[in-house]
A and B are shown apart, each in its own frame.
Chain A
Amino acid sequence: MNRTKTEGFGILTRELAQEIDKTINLYQSNSTKLVGILLDIQGIIPKQYIPREVAAYVSEKMNIPLSKIYDVISFYAALSDVPRADYVIQLCDSVVCKVTGNTTLRDTISQLLGIKEQESTPDGKYWLEYTPCFGACDISPAMRINGKVFGHLTSQDSVKAVFDQYR
């Protein structure tokens, strides 16, 4: 059974708790802003995810059931309940990127990093995942790395050029 956790948490340090408090206050603890709050919190947690203890902390602070918070985290592709990596690579999986050929993009990344979708490199540096359209159709095929958008990724070289920035 899940006994009372008093002897400290793995990820939720006092400093992180203070940062979370600040974020929640910034949004006036408004439950309709939960997605924004969770995105901001996820951004300051190593490996870019929301562990259970953090979700439980937000649940208590904002008086929202933990199950509701999990519902939101699991619904949005941008939020993760499992550890990802320092750099989260999101490949657009929508029609336009498919038509303009995002397979080259996917295969090049897999070759370069040796990972498939929903996997991270052994050193925990890169994570690859598909995501719904993020509105970069004009420069498709596109990907995002930690929120930054890169487009026109039609050749192996163009993909490699991007990754040179993230070594």
Chain B
Amino acid sequence: MKNIKIKIDNIDVIVPEGTTILEAAKKVKINIPHLCYHPDQAIKANCRLCVVDVSGSKKLTAACSSFVYEGMEVHTNTKKVRDMQKGILELILANHDQDCLKCLRNGNCELQALCQRFNISKTNLEDTVDALPLDDTNPSLIRDSAKCVKCNRCVDACQKVQEVHVLTHSHRSVHYNITPAYEMPLEQTFCVFCGQCAAVCPVGAIVEKDDTAKVWDAIYDPKKHVIVQVAPAVRVALGDAFNLPKGSIVTGKMVAALRRLGFDKIFDTNFTADLTIMEEGNELIQRLTKGGTLPMITSCSPGWINFIEGRYDHLLDHLSSCKSPQQMFGALSKSYYPEIAGIGSKNVYTVSIMPCTAKKYEAQRPEMITNGMPEVDAVLTTRELARMIQSAGIDFVGLEEDQFDNPFGIGTGAGAIFGATGGVMEAALRTAYEVITGKGLPGLNFTEVRGLSGIKESTVLIDDMELKVAVAHGLGNAKILLKQIEKGESPYAFIEIMACPGGCIGGGGQPIKSTREVKEKRMEAIYKIDEDLPLRKSHKNPDVLKLYENYLGEPLGHKSHQLLHTHYHSRGMKYNFSELTK
């Protein structure tokens, strides 16, 4: 590709053809202000904050949408540019509910940072916040249009990345807004609660529903035995909130912090991830050998479950009947755990720390009940856990490392890689291969299913059986595999689908600014955890084997079915027009 030489603020920059001014400026450490620009998204040029002065042009130019050309001279800091940027910022602010001190994004808000940068103190504009009602009736997300800056990042995430098409821009002029069709609350739309909109929102217009107060109350209640499980993807992302390098593995510090917060026992969701593999792997073997709907599709990702139950409910037979690792843990926490710990099951309060906003929705599903109690009482996202740690005044970085408690403290490498796209597939293959052949796997790493390409496929030879598998992450990619199934053209026996791009490491509940670059680092960290563990196959987890021996019996057995499996059903969201067209 051709290189282009330009000058930005009199500094020479050489960048490849097709680079925008904004990206070229980044190379020489000039941060042009922006709100709608996001490195992983398409060019939008909505907010106009990134205007710069290009020599020879009478009007100001949007740096995010203008490409460099040979000899271009850009000035990012002239009076004209600054006055314009300040003016735009004041206009945005006049239409923004400035309840910053009480906002979840206080201290982590791009608009706030820009106001600080431009030293916005007083303006002569009158505030007119024209807002739709607050949408807070679902368990996962809160949308507050009074804080929306209309940057359209959430629309990009919802329409182009996830292809769920719930959020759209609507109306025009002063009534321009971001909303679902007919301004319906999210739970009455096809929204899957993946939270990718919240993850890209520059301000506090879409945030997770904060459940930290509920968890504090439980911890302070002396009658409650509060236990917590932590998902595999949290330990490689939590460090972001404490300014550690991206992709830092903070497992030990995280456990130590949870202990200081006052949780009675700290357990690892990796353990129930291993358990999921035992159940799901055996379910796959059963479907392959005794007949059953193929391809079988994983059921770990609640955003994905909401998607198939909403739009593709005619394909539900393809889903594994396994509950997700979160719910498997929850079920055991209200049955097996109270028995062995000698605690009344009514006193056990189960919290999970998840990289996910859809997990909040999953935990409240009416069928996720064991012994008459909700399996998981509260779900916190990675962001909420970070807030609790900060709120307790814990110096996270300085903590001594601690270890998970028994009996749900051991997770194998197979459980650990659940956090990255392709991980469930790889873990399942490690177990299925050995269970079917009775032989040891020659190599443990199924590298074809790793990485960030949208759809990955592989063919695995198990004895003389060729097993074709596929992995998709991001619901837009999932759609492609589903359309194959609809047409009866799917060549696969087993498919892993994760709702979020990158899998759980890119979940909607992860620390803000989880860009593709950050996801790659988290992914490396996840596979490092796997490499470093002595046990890397789920069926070798000694505590899982003990659990089967002492309590569950065998995979897919009666007790397993009762506790670890469920029935996925249509959300009944679609209009049924068949009567009209008869």
Contacts and interface: CB of A to CB of B under 8 A. Distances in A.
Contacts of B581: 17, 21
A133 B159 CA distance: 33
A5 B579 CA distance: 10
Interface in B171-205: 171-172, 175, 180-182, 184, 187-188
A70 B175 CA distance: 14
Contacts of A2: 188, 572-573
A150 interface: no
Given A2-B188, A17-B581, A75-B170, A67 B180 contact: yes
Q: State which size class the interface on A falls in.
A: 20 to 34
Q: Is the interface of A mostly helix, strand, loop or mixed?
A: helix
A8 B171 CA distance: 30
Nearest to B185: A2
A32 interface: no
B579 A6 contact: yes
Contacts of B175: 74
Contact of A1 (B172, B180, B571, B580): B571
Nearest to B158: A67
A64 to B, nearest CB: 9
Interface residues of B, number: 28
Interface in B537-582: 570-577, 579-582
B165 A1 contact: no
A57 B577 contact: yes
A69 B180 CA distance: 11
Interface in B124-173: 159, 165-172
Contacts of B571: 1
A66 B581 CA distance: 19
A21 B581 CA distance: 10
B193 to A, nearest CB: 13
A53 interface: yes
A52 B165 contact: no
Nearest to B573: A2
B177 to A, nearest CB: 9
Contacts of A52: 181-182, 184
A68 B181 CA distance: 8
Interface in B457-502: none
B573 A70 contact: no
Contacts of A53: 575
14 contacts: A2-B572, A4-B570, A4-B573, A4-B575, A5-B575, A6-B576, A8-B579, A9-B580, A55-B181, A56-B575, A67-B159, A67-B165, A67-B167, A68-B168
Interface of A: 1-6, 8-9, 12-14, 17, 21, 52-53, 55-57, 60, 65-71, 74-75, 81
In the complex, the 3 A-B pairs of residues with the closest C-beta atoms, listed nearest first: A65-B165, A67-B168, A70-B181
Interface of B: 159, 165-172, 175, 180-182, 184, 187-188, 570-577, 579-582
